[in-house]
Amino acid sequence: MPKTSTTSTKNFFENAGNTIAISNERGQLLDTIAENIAKEYQKEGTVNLNFICTHNSRRSQFGQVWAFFAAEYFNLNIHTFSGGTEVTAFFKNTVKTLASEGFHFELIDFSHQNPKYSISFEGTDKTILGFSKLFDDAQNLNPFIAITTCNNADENCPFIPTATHRFHLPFVDPKFSDNTEAAHETYEKTSQQIAGELFYIFTKVSDRLV
């Protein structure tokens, strides 16, 4: 069971949003994602976001968890999910990193292969379920906007016929640092980048809904 840090999730999120460097090209992509989320929200009054990567173990999990926090932070009726094309596990370094940033993980279904966690944070009574699963798992509500996070070419990412929109938002996989002294720093930087870009997206969505 990972230890929960005294770090404020809110402070980490705000700091990531205020310090992250975003190129013009990346900013245009984030703006497009935000615009389409806002349009869907205005039409339906809610949005489901599904963060998708091959193994659903690192980047897609970071995406789901930080989007969960962002939805609460901006008081938006947005539900967040994640999935992959293969089932592996919510990787231990991903869990440890998010726990060190203030998220609470409660183990609800122990499995050496693929444990399930109830995830929350201070200030909310809401939770999400965290475990590795396929992108079309029954836990992932339809219809959804798909955000693929693998850093390979967009054409190599899975075809997702059930998605209302599909956006390719790649991040470098922190897996390369596993079992090295740089692992904690690498995973934290990945978490910070994803948190910061979601802060940007959700700020734009919130502004469009005013």
Q: How confident is the model at residue 157 (pLDDT cuts 50, 70, 90)?
A: low
Which residue, among 56, 32, 67, has the nearest Cα to 165 in the 3D structure?
32
pTM for the whole structure? 0.94
pLDDT at position 210: 85
Alpha-carbon span 149 to 160, nearest angstrom: 14
Q: Does position 58 have pLDDT exceeding 90, yes or no?
A: yes
Task: State the fold for domain 47-208.
Answer: Rossmann fold (3.40.50)
Q: CB burial class (10 A; 0-12, 13-18, 19+) of residue 78?
A: buried
pLDDT in tens, 165-193: 999 999 999 999 999 999 999 999 999 99
pLDDT in tens, 106-119: 999 988 899 999 99
pLDDT at position 148: 94
Is residue 31 within 8 Å of residue 169, measured between CB atoms? no
Is residue 1 within 8 Å of residue 165, measured between CB atoms? no
pLDDT at position 173: 95
Q: What string of H, E and C letters represents the secondary structure of the chain?
A: CCCCCCCCHHHHHHHHHHHCCCCHHHHHHHHHHHHHHHHHHHHHCCEEEEEECCCCCCHHHHHHHHHHHHHHHCCCCEEEEEEECCCCCCCHHHHHHHHHCCEEEEEEECCCCCCEEEEEECCCCCCEEECCCECCCCCCCCCEEEEECCCCCHHHCCCCCCEEEEEECCCCCHHHHCCCCCHHHHHHHHHHHHHHHHHHHHHHHHHHCC
Distance, first Cα to last Cα, the chain: 41
Q: Does position 156 have pLDDT exceeding 70, yes or no?
A: no
pLDDT at position 4: 46
Q: Does position 6 have pLDDT exceeding 90, yes or no?
A: no
Is residue 147 within 8 Å of residue 127, measured between CB atoms? no
Q: Quick one: average pLDDT of 23-32? A: 98
pLDDT in tens, 61-119: 999 999 999 999 999 999 999 999 999 999 999 999 999 999 999 999 988 899 999 99
Which residue, among 205, 173, 178, 160, has the nearest Cα to 62 in the 3D structure?
173
**Mean pLDDT of the chain, nearest integer:** 93
